[in-house]
Amino acid sequence: MPKRKREAVVENGQNESSSDQGQKGGQNLVEVLPGITRKITACAACRKNKRMALPASDVVAGACHVTNLHDTLDMLCQHLGVEGPKALRSMGHDREGSYAPADNDQNRTQQEEEGCEVSPPESPSAVQAPIDTFLDITKIRSPHSHSIDSPASARASRSGTRSDLISRGIISATIAERLVHHYFARLDHYLYGIGGEYQGLEQLRANAPILLAAICTVSALHDPQERAVYEACNREFRSLVAKSTFEKRDVDYIRALCISSFWLADASRIFCSDAIRRAADMRLHRSFDALFDDRTGFGSGPMQSVPSPSMQSLSAATDRVRLWYLLFVCDQHLSILHNRDSLLRSEKGIAVGWELYLHRSETTESDVRILSQVSLLLIMGQVRDVLGSDNQTPLPPALASQILNYSRQLDKWYAKFSALFVTNAFIGEFPKRGLQLHYQFGKLYLGHQVFKGLHGRPIPPHFLSAATMAHDTAVSIFEMILGEPELQEGLVGMPHYFHVMIAFAGHLLLEICQNYYEQLAIKIQDDFQLINSALNLFRNTQCIPQHPIWRMAPGLNRKLHDCAGSIGVPVPSAVPVGLNAQAIPGQEALYYPPVPADASQPLDELLFTDFGEFNFPDLTSNFMT
């Protein structure tokens, strides 16, 4: 028989056999499988694949083949007593729908957009949790629990396009390029270089659009000419975060939330809490195990659970550890500013082990700066737990020794890290000056506790030294700002925690002057002149109206005049200050030891008129009047 005719006969026979099998069902197919010979291997399937199109009848027959294949597989698994394979991820809910490509595109898109994760499919704990058992017995554990892309993100990745600020027409590519460059050239170094591996506009657009939105928003906030751009970027970024509430996201999404938490003060608590939730779901804290092989003692032995995808390399684990530390720092900052418990208390043991990370051979200058913050905030957290309270009651005399103990801990902290800090290639001496400021902030936070509940009554003798330290610390903070060019340059660039603590120091200083200038022998004219000079510096600092420096100056100015009026002394004229100004005559920079008290002022006059619940401990209560 000629070859061409022989192939046709074989092909026709194969088609007839396939049709019969479709009618007889999976049981006949099982019976046929053991009898397969070399005569029907491969060739027919290859020829079918070479066809450009199939008749409608063949498409239906193909669907029958798939249906019979599923039935056959189920029967084999039942016969052998084994569990069937997990279903492949499908956009549809039935197998038949996958063979209608044109008709189901719209439904498939809708299903992808509706996909969400109301609650994580499994516990972030390293050991089995109650929810894990429940998910096992109810057979609803997500087979994609380690997936970090939302359905919408997955669809965008398959199509090769991802919506961002530029494609949506929010800003132009030229403006975005300028904002990204400004962020990575300067701002990112105030936040210890946490911006990540994508440091170019095109990389950010392709891999992390929401990180691009966060970077552009923060960068525009620090450009005095970009008010309209900031408003547009901020609006879009908030919208993206709101829409992503129930979606899974990746590490760069947490990075975007972390960056925005440090600079966008009016929504910092929202961004930080969302970032902490997602970090727990992604087991970000397990990165310590990957770095130290559980030498920290925080885990339950060598990692036995499946590690998350980003922990596959040492560099990725290191990046995750640094990101977790920054979340800890941000959480502690907000805990101090809002007088609330921190959210990361359950993982505090990791923070306590910061020295293990510090002594790694790969530790960088940025790591030293981050760990200095972690170490300081652990001390300040103890101060909050022991001395802090929501109740306006005076501290008992027995706590005077605790205040002295915490003050000595702060002194040791400064001595340790001041020897480790070096000049930064991008922001110069700011890290060293920032270390000094943070030291003063720690003393300020410690000392302000002794004024709690006094309501204008004299300071108890056992707290006089702490009260004096509080006053001197507040003075030192403003002397540093007026005397250090690096701090003046960094007023527009440093995270908002600095601005809030500076404003708090000003209000505290004025309250002490108003109520205790006689008991503490304070030269109120010198303090008033110091505050007025700082206000003059703030007014001359170029920034957009949404920046904390611009927003806190009017309230602090009103407080100064109210305080001077209540005492009956005039407000002295401001001494010109700036990057080229001379030091204030007759004033010596203290910069180091001291401590503070507390202040009072209506929230809308103090700092940020639209911050809602934004609040420093006792900031809105007149406990000193």
3-state secondary structure 329-381: HHHHHHHHHHCCCCCCHHHHHHHHCHHHHHCCCCCCHHHHHHHHHHHHHHHHH
Q: Is residue 121 part of a domain?
A: no
Inform me whether the pLDDT recorded for 516 exceeds 70.
yes
Whether the Cβ atoms of residue 253 and residue 150 lie closer than 8 Å to each other:
no
Specify the pLDDT at position 397.
94
Range of the domain at 212: 159-290
CA distance 174 to 162: 19
Inform me whether the pLDDT recorded for 503 exceeds 80.
yes
Of 253, 275, 290, the domain-final residue: 290
Question: Would you put residue 294 in left (φ > 0), alpha (ψ -120 to 50) or beta?
Answer: left
Inform me whether the pLDDT recorded for 142 exceeds 70.
no
Nearest to 269 by CA among 618, 613, 621, 619: 613
User: Are 269 and 399 members of one domain?
Assistant: no
Instruction: Find the helix packing angle between 400-418 and 430-447, rounded to 10°.
Output: 180
Per-residue pLDDT tens over the stretch 273-301 = 999 999 999 988 888 887 876 444 444 34
Per-residue pLDDT tens over the stretch 238-254 = 999 999 999 999 999 99
Q: Is residue 74 part of a domain?
A: no
pLDDT average, residue stretch 450-475: 95
Contacting residues for 14 by C-beta, under 8 A, at least 6 apart: 40, 44
Cα 43 to chain centroid, rounded:
57
Contacting residues for 313 by C-beta, under 8 A, at least 6 apart: none
Specify the pLDDT at position 286.
85
User: Are 402 and 284 members of one domain?
Assistant: no
Whether the Cβ atoms of residue 402 and residue 386 lie closer than 8 Å to each other:
yes
User: Are 423 and 279 members of one domain?
Assistant: no
Of 242, 271, 290, the domain-final residue: 290
From residue 24, alpha-carbon distances to 30, 78, 205 in Å are: 11, 20, 54
Q: Is residue 542 part of a domain?
A: yes
Specify the pLDDT at position 524.
94
User: For the chain, what is the mean pLDDT?
Assistant: 77
With tokens 């904002």, the residue in question is 179
Whether the Cβ atoms of residue 243 and residue 310 lie closer than 8 Å to each other:
no
Q: Is residue 575 part of a domain?
A: yes
* pLDDT cut 90: percent of the chain above it: 52
Whether the Cβ atoms of residue 418 and residue 435 lie closer than 8 Å to each other:
yes
User: Are 419 and 278 members of one domain?
Assistant: no
Q: Is residue 558 part of a domain?
A: yes
Inform me whether the pLDDT recorded for 534 exceeds 90.
yes
User: Are 391 and 286 members of one domain?
Assistant: no
Q: Is residue 569 part of a domain?
A: yes
Q: Is residue 55 part of a domain?
A: no
Cα 158 to chain centroid, rounded:
27
Per-residue pLDDT tens over the stretch 345-391 = 756 678 778 888 888 888 999 999 999 999 999 999 999 999 987 77
User: Are 268 and 395 members of one domain?
Assistant: no
User: Are 553 and 409 members of one domain?
Assistant: yes
Question: Would you put residue 127 in left (φ > 0), alpha (ψ -120 to 50) or beta?
Answer: beta
Three-class secondary structure of residue 602 per DSSP: coil
Q: Is residue 401 part of a domain?
A: yes
Per-residue pLDDT tens over the stretch 381-428 = 999 999 987 778 899 999 999 999 999 999 999 999 999 999 999 999
Of 290, 306, 322, the domain-final residue: 290
With tokens 């002194």, the residue in question is 411
Specify the pLDDT at position 105.
44
Specify the pLDDT at position 308.
44
Report which residue type is found at 43: C
User: Are 390 and 274 members of one domain?
Assistant: no
Specify the pLDDT at position 130.
82
Specify the pLDDT at position 347.
65
Whether the Cβ atoms of residue 533 and residue 492 lie closer than 8 Å to each other:
no
Instruction: Find the helix packing angle between 56-80 and 3-24, rounded to 10°.
Output: 60
Structurally, the chain folds into a number of domains equal to: 2
Indicate yes or no: pTM above 0.85.
no
Whether the Cβ atoms of residue 192 and residue 329 lie closer than 8 Å to each other:
no
Specify the pLDDT at position 451.
95
CA-based torsion, 6, 10, 16, 20: positive or negative = positive
Inform me whether the pLDDT recorded for 4 exceeds 80.
no
* pLDDT cut 70: percent of the chain above it: 65
